[in-house]
A and B are shown apart, each in its own frame.
Chain A
Amino acid sequence: MPDPTPSRVWTGYLRPDGRKGIRNHLLVIYTVECASFVAQEIAKDEPDTHVIGFPGCYDNDYAIRLMLALATHPNIGGVLAVGLGCEYTQPHRIAEAVRASGRPAESFFIQEHGGTRTSISHGKAQLASLRTRAAESAIKVPMTWADLTIGAECGGSDGTSGLAGNPVVGRAFDNLIDRGGSASFEEVVEMIGLRDLMISRAASPQAAQQLGATYDKMLNYCKAVRQYSVSPGNFAGGLTTIEEKSMGAFAKGGSRPIQGVIRVSERPPHPGLWLLDSVPDEHFMQFGYTNPNDTEGIMDLIAAGAQIVLFITGRGSVIGSAIAPLIKVTGNARTYRNMSEDMDFDASRVLSGELTMDAAAAELLDLIADVASGQPSKPERLGHREFFLMYKHQDVPSLEAGCRA
């Protein structure tokens, strides 16, 4: 098997929880839609600053957990939380939780600082101070494969995704895991019909039980809301049914044993391959959708600690992501040509016979190391930093990080 340069080492940022980041970004968080304009303006023309937030005035445990997981992500060095002043979600509670993680953090309510312009200039000043403190507290350390958690998401899938794009990512995952790294994938709603196959991949009886329960909940959910994760673009690209799309999507999970199921905002407890369950819990089955769009799933993977996410898109997509670089992989040669400024990796070469699957996976892993070393991915270079979050109900048994009193 071609070796993806096993000795690759690059410089990362050691965080107090022991995880290592590949970027040292600042994060502005708005706690209601009413504060989003000010938050975006604070981050404007600040290349190291990304923006996330929650639009609802009424709070949501899942959304708070997800924002805290992102605010304490290894790629984040400091946080500014901005609220309007009326909403349930409290900026100062977010800042406290972030400070407890060993990072500098500030917060304020717009209503306490005048209007739009005074709030923006106040926020800009706080950001400058956070940047200095984040640079001072960042500990630079060597990093290698075993320090990485990589996520995989597919979107805009077509008939090539299951043949080339996803299998190449799956093979790269196998390589990463063999080198001591961690990988996670989600889109459980695209595992329709694959219950036995999923369970056959379980690393332990407990993992098998988790995988079976996750599948059963997902199928009940899809039947109850009468929604399946297959879209007009998938049909136009040659995928006929959700069953067909599912087999192709599952290929991005590679072939290594699945260690277990984590839920949104949880981190993999040990290295290896993990399935992330983003499906709402059964007692709220009537409430909300599972995967409203690709960005939501990508954020779930980043919240689970992924420093980089691989996005496989046969038909092509022009998204990036906040916090962690997105690397875009396509198995469709036409898409790679037409969207060359957006596509990072051409997996169609395994279909044309130009590359073996192993050689393609080795090349992809080297690209991952390049991006981890600081080379911007194509979405990063274009300035993409998409973020999406909506209400969802998913209870995590050990809730340690909630903001609500």
Chain B
Amino acid sequence: MTAQPASSAFQVHATDNVATLLGEAAAGAPLAIIGPAQPTQLAARENISLGHKVALVAIPEGAPIVKFGVVIGIATRPIEPGEWVHLHNCRSQLDERSGHFDLHTGEPGDSAYA
């Protein structure tokens, strides 16, 4: 494995439809996708942070989001290649609170403080 530029993302399993950012990606910047499949390039459609996920292919609403070769959630709306995949377009199949968290901070929006 050689040193990667900041704008790269790692696809863990060949069947994954998302990859994880190894650095910060800026909107419109080319993103090198590395991992078990053929290396490819993709343009990030928006700013995506280290550790967050980018869609590698178009994912229809209701389709599984696959990482590590397993289903980690369900698309809650159509997702384009290069889009950030997170709380706004992916939900857990189990966790009822999924969908009630702030997209950027993760802060819960469903807790009563009064």
A247 near B68 with CB under 8 A, answer yes
Taking a contact as CB atoms under 8 Å apart, the answer to whether A241 and B51 are in contact is no
Q: Say if the beta carbon of B1 comes within 8 Å of chain A.
A: yes
- Determine if B33 is an interface residue (Cβ-Cβ < 8 Å): no
**Cα–Cα distance between A231 and B95 once the two chains are bound (Å):** 12
Does A237 lie at the interface of the complex (its beta carbon under 8 Å from any beta carbon of B)? Answer: yes
**Interface residue from B4, B87, B107 paired with A240 (Cβ < 8 Å):** B87
* Residue A314 interfacial (CB < 8 Å): yes
Confirm or deny: A354 has a beta carbon within 8 angstroms of a beta carbon on chain B: yes
How many chain A residues touch the partner (CB < 8 A)? 38
B106 within 8 A of A: yes
Q: Which residues of A contact B101 (CB under 8 A)?
A: 232, 235
Whether B105 contacts A159 by the Cβ 8 Å rule is no
The minimal Cβ–Cβ distance linking A364 to chain B, given in whole angstroms, is 18
Chain A 354-376 interface 0/1 with B at a Cβ cutoff of 8 Å (1 = within): 10100000000000000000000
* Cβ of B45 under 8 Å from chain A: no
Q: Is the interface of B mostly helix, strand, loop or mixed?
A: loop
Give the interface size bracket for B toward A. Answer: 35 or more
Q: In angstroms, how far is the closest chain B Cβ from the Cβ of A240? A: 5
B94 within 8 A of A: yes
- A237: chain B residues within 8 A (beta carbon): 51
Is A36 interfacial (CB 8 A cutoff)? no
B10 close to A163 (CB less than 8 A): yes
Say whether A192 faces chain B, with CB atoms less than 8 Å apart.
yes
Per-residue CB proximity of B26-70 to A under 8 Å, as 1/0? 000000000000000000000001111100000000000101101
Of A159, A194, A233, A248, most B-chain CB atoms within 10 Å: A159
Known A232-B108, A243-B93; judge A353-B20 contact (CB<8 A): no
Q: Who on chain A is nearest to B22 by CB?
A: A351
A334 part of interface (Cβ distance < 8 Å): yes
Complex CA distance for A194 and B101, rounded to whole angstroms: 24
Tell yes or no: A139 within 8 A of B by CB.
no
Known: A232-B101, A242-B94. A163 touches B12 (CB 8 A): yes
Residues of A near B95 (CB, < 8 A) are: 228, 230, 241-242
A7 surroundings in chain B (CB, below 8 A): none
Q: With a CB–CB cut-off of 8 A, which chain A residues contact B49?
A: 238
Closest to A248 in B: B68
A contact residues around B10 at 8 Å (CB): 163, 351
User: Are A159 and B92 in contact (CB-based, < 8 A)?
Assistant: no
User: Are B107 and A232 in contact (CB-based, < 8 A)?
Assistant: yes
**How far, in angstroms, from A238 to B54 measured CA to CA in the complex?**
10
Q: In whole angstroms, how far apart are the Cα atoms of A314 and B85 in the complex?
A: 19
**Cβ-closest 7 pairs across A and B:** A159-B51, A235-B106, A232-B106, A238-B51, A238-B52, A244-B72, A241-B92
Residue ranges of A at the interface with B (Cβ–Cβ < 8 Å)? 158-160, 162-163, 192-194, 222-223, 226, 228, 230-244, 247-248, 314, 332, 334, 350-354, 356
Which B residues are within 8 Å of any A CB, using their own CB? 1-4, 10, 12, 20-22, 49-53, 65, 67-68, 70-73, 85-87, 90-98, 101-102, 104-108
Mind listing 16 A-B residue pairs with CB under 8 Å? A163-B20, A228-B95, A232-B101, A232-B108, A236-B104, A237-B51, A238-B52, A238-B53, A240-B73, A240-B90, A241-B73, A242-B92, A244-B68, A244-B73, A352-B22, A356-B1
